[in-house]
Chain A
Amino acid sequence: MQGPAYRMILISTLLVVAGGSLFIYKWQVLGFPLRPDAETRIWTVEVTARFEAGPGPIKASFYIPGLTPGFAILEENYLSRGFGYTPGYVAGGRQVQWTRRRARGVQTLYYRVVIYKDSARIESDTTPPFPEVPKVSEPFRTAIEQLVEDVAGKSADPGSFTVELLKRLSQPDRDQNVEILVGAAPTAASIAHTATELLAAARIPARMIRGIYLQEQQRRAPIVPWLEIHDGTRWRYFDPLTGKEGLPDNFLQWWSGDDRLFAIDGGKDVDIRFSVKSDFMSPVEVAQRRSDERNSLVEKFSLFSLPIQTQAVYSIILMIPLGALTVVLLRNVVGVETFGTFMPVLIALAFRQTQLLWGILWFTLLVSIGLIFRFYLERLRLLLVPRLGAVLTIVVILMLVLSIISHQLGFESGLSVALFPMVILAMTIERMSVLWEERGSREAIQQGLGSLLVAAICYAVMDMKMVKHLIFVFPEMLLVVLAGTLLMGRYTGYRLVELYRFRELCKRPH
């Protein structure tokens, strides 16, 4: 193997390995999506805590989502002017402490969290110890003992025990024991609370969890209690009011235990509101934010860290190397002749805006009319640069006229004519007319059509949805494109058109 060829293969392999491994990392580990379709649903939950400040220093503790089976947190913000905040873990989950030396009047604290469904998230608590039997005085003690004994006799395991217990607690015609424990008008929370005590008496680990139902749009989402028990192997969830097992899909666990959501020192008249808004986000964005949270280096140096307008520009620019590779293939392997090496790529970029058929139509129209003017300019015997300038000016005027006429006629696609690269058009017209004079119309038209064909193929390649998505989300694929281009640079075999060109030499075996 020769030196340069060997080095070429080495470099290309390195490029493919580098691009490919980064691609696989982003795809598999960071979860960037391979397919452009499918949007991910996200929910934004906003909690507003409003209270009257004073007297004295303010210290507010507020539960925030920590363990959220079925959901993952994308991002969260704390918004509270003048307050210091410290998130941390406590027995009931996560809590944020808002503190302030002094304040006056109505204060508002905001907490905002964006979450998405992540079925990989499950309750990951370790097995809890068996609870102590609660120490209570009479008449509760007898009531509890009787009820537990009664329910235990009708159940086989912690699960069925819980179901039976909840049925007893929530049925309308309660017996006396139940009445003593939960009162005359029990709420879901009080039932759940009582159930945990009764379960503790039966030595079953249990706790109340609270959360909200995620819906399309809610201005005031109610806090809903659920009962969670551990049956020795895993946590199980029960609706305290019905005894039905299993968390609904849209239940977002907020905290657990009997604590209140919001506790405050130095404040009163607390009003807390949960509002929920559902939205859709591209999976790319979700993956990107997620790696943001991870503080991944890949993310820091990614396209998505750029301003959105710059991203939009790059979404086009990143396709150019692919167009270039297409041109390389068409020129060096097929052998199509074009005006200017990469002119078809730029024309193809314009086609993205105009759509293919209209693009070809407008391009042909502009070049043909431009050529007529250019042939006339030839007679004026202008110097080269002024002539090029004149052609450019004519092209611009033609674009304007075509836009106006087509707009008047109701063809809105004519407006996109303005997106054609006019300098490229002017140069194409100039080169085509020179070729026309020098080599005749046949060759000029042939090369013109060749350019158009290559532009159309480039467009088809660069407009593939899948390709666009892959290159934009995984720009490291450009290294693979580069490797391909480099390899094409060492292709010394025949071009397809040469098989025809040298057909006379094919005929006889030599």
Chain B
Amino acid sequence: MLAWAKRLRSGGVLGLNERNGEVIQRFNARHLYPLVDDKLRTKRLALAADISVPELYGVMESQHDIHAWPEIAGQRGDFVIKPAHGTGGDGILVVTGRTSRRQRLYQLIDGNVISEAGISHHVSNIISGQYSFVGTRDCAMLEYRVETDPFFAAVSFQGVPDVRVLVYQGYPVMAMVRLATRRSRGKANLHQGAVGAGINLASGRTLSGVLGNDIVSEHPDTGEPIAGLDIPCWDQFLSLAARCYELTGLGYLGVDIVLDRHRGPLILELNARPGLNIQIANKVGLKKRFALVDRWTATRDADEKVAIVREAFAL
């Protein structure tokens, strides 16, 4: 066992304790957390900095508002309702359309049908804080439903695949694409069973994938190969991610970006405590890359940082 730990250490693999104790506590000042923990604030910040995000249709802040959503949704048949303080993709309701206007039934992305009252109940749960990791009252956001770019639609099982870019001191140091599976029930979170694949930072080409803690080369449901895909608009992904550092000031940041069929890469959310599975997906330890970044100056602008990273972390 000690030999394993030794090998992990020599590979520069970052463990949870070290992430919490040495990285997050040192580089992520606690007062900055609300910027990313509250998705509403993140969205407003991003809009102010002209960073593309899914359009916000409206917010429901109190139990009075739980029936306000049909009005906010208006004529739109598809939208997403999510908690502003949600974590791990919990509490997100993706509505794709109406099945029957008369009976007020809505189609969900997983194929289920939900009534208007059902959605209101969900909104109520969100507001009372069921999905909020701080456990207090929350608000529900109603926003644009991202339509997956056909490029990803082929390899993903339902859901919206996203690209997680890990940004250290403003330098994107590692990235992976996360594809929903049947087991993850349309969600793109690895610990819920989504499949992840590392990305060559220089080229935007995917490496082999990881499912749970195992390495896979094909999508478990679609059977499509995961490795060797060239992600479109890779430049924009990296530059969006790098700019998020300037937006929040968080030194260790996870940036989740989706590729919308109409609007291109959009920032979905930011994470101040990004997970460590990205190392498995890339088969590389994070600490070596951190060490390299530590030697670089932090006073470059986002585009310069992207350029230097693409050169240094080419595989």
Q: Do B4 and A506 touch (CB < 8 A)? A: yes
Q: Do A498 and B15 touch (CB < 8 A)? A: yes
Q: Is A135 an interface residue (CB 8 A)?
A: no
Q: Do B15 and A505 touch (CB < 8 A)? A: no
Q: Do B21 and A492 touch (CB < 8 A)? A: yes
What's the minimum C-beta distance from B30 to chain A, rounded to whole angstroms? 15
Stretch in A231-239, A261-269, A379-387 with 4+ CB within 8 Å of B: A379-387
Chain B, residue nearest A510 (CB): B11
Chain B, residue nearest A430 (CB): B130
Q: What is the 8 Å Cβ interface bit string for chain A, positions 357-394, against chain B (1 contact, 0 not)? A: 00000000000000000000000010111000000000
A385 neighbours in B (Cβ, 8 Å)? 128
Supposing A501-B213, A503-B4, A505-B280 touch, asked if A384 and B130 sit within 8 A by C-beta, the answer is yes
By size class, the interface of chain A is 20 to 34
Q: Is A500 an interface residue (CB 8 A)?
A: yes
CA distance A439 to B194 in the complex (A): 11
A-B Cβ contacts below 8 A, count: 95
Chain A, residue nearest B63 (CB): A383
Supposing A383-B124, A493-B18 touch, asked if A505 and B285 sit within 8 A by C-beta, the answer is yes
Supposing A383-B128, A504-B283, A510-B284 touch, asked if A495 and B7 sit within 8 A by C-beta, the answer is no
Contact partner, A503, options B22, B118, B191, B213, Cβ 8 Å: B213
CA distance A505 to B18 in the complex (A): 17
Supposing A494-B15, A505-B283 touch, asked if A384 and B8 sit within 8 A by C-beta, the answer is no
Supposing A504-B280, A506-B4 touch, asked if A381 and B117 sit within 8 A by C-beta, the answer is yes
Q: Do B213 and A384 touch (CB < 8 A)? A: no
Q: Do A494 and B124 touch (CB < 8 A)? A: no
Q: Is A140 an interface residue (CB 8 A)?
A: no
B214 neighbours in A (Cβ, 8 Å)? 504
In this complex, the member of A385, A434, A492, A502 whose beta carbon has the largest number of chain B beta carbons within 10 angstroms is: A502
Q: Is A509 an interface residue (CB 8 A)?
A: yes
A504 neighbours in B (Cβ, 8 Å)? 210, 213-215, 280, 283
Q: Do B18 and A510 touch (CB < 8 A)? A: no
CA distance A489 to B18 in the complex (A): 11
Q: Is A332 an interface residue (CB 8 A)?
A: yes
Q: Is B12 an interface residue (CB 8 A)?
A: yes
A501 neighbours in B (Cβ, 8 Å)? 213, 280
Q: Is B90 an interface residue (CB 8 A)?
A: yes
Q: Do A502 and B8 touch (CB < 8 A)? A: yes
Q: Is B300 an interface residue (CB 8 A)?
A: no
Contact partner, A499, options B5, B63, B192, B193, Cβ 8 Å: B5
Contact partner, A505, options B22, B125, B130, B279, Cβ 8 Å: B279
CA distance A503 to B279 in the complex (A): 11
Q: Is A491 an interface residue (CB 8 A)?
A: yes
Q: Is B242 an interface residue (CB 8 A)?
A: no
Supposing A384-B125, A384-B129 touch, asked if A506 and B21 sit within 8 A by C-beta, the answer is no
CA distance A407 to B129 in the complex (A): 40
Chain A, residue nearest B282 (CB): A505
Contact partner, B279, options A332, A494, A500, A502, Cβ 8 Å: A502
Chain A, residue nearest B25 (CB): A4
Q: Do B128 and A499 touch (CB < 8 A)? A: no
Q: Do B128 and A332 touch (CB < 8 A)? A: no
What's the minimum C-beta distance from B208 to chain A, rounded to whole angstroms? 10
B210 neighbours in A (Cβ, 8 Å)? 504
Given contacts A384-B129, A505-B13, 20 further A-B contacts (CB under 8 A): A335-B16, A381-B118, A381-B124, A383-B128, A439-B191, A491-B21, A492-B15, A493-B15, A493-B18, A494-B13, A494-B18, A495-B15, A495-B16, A501-B213, A502-B213, A502-B276, A503-B4, A505-B279, A505-B285, A510-B10
The 10 listed contacts between A and B (C-beta, < 8 Å) are A384-B129, A440-B193, A492-B17, A493-B17, A494-B13, A504-B215, A504-B280, A505-B11, A509-B10, A510-B12
Minimum-distance CB pairs A-B, first 6: A384-B128, A492-B18, A381-B121, A494-B15, A510-B11, A492-B21
Binding site for B on A (CB under 8 A): 332, 335, 381, 383-385, 434, 438-440, 489-496, 498-506, 508-510
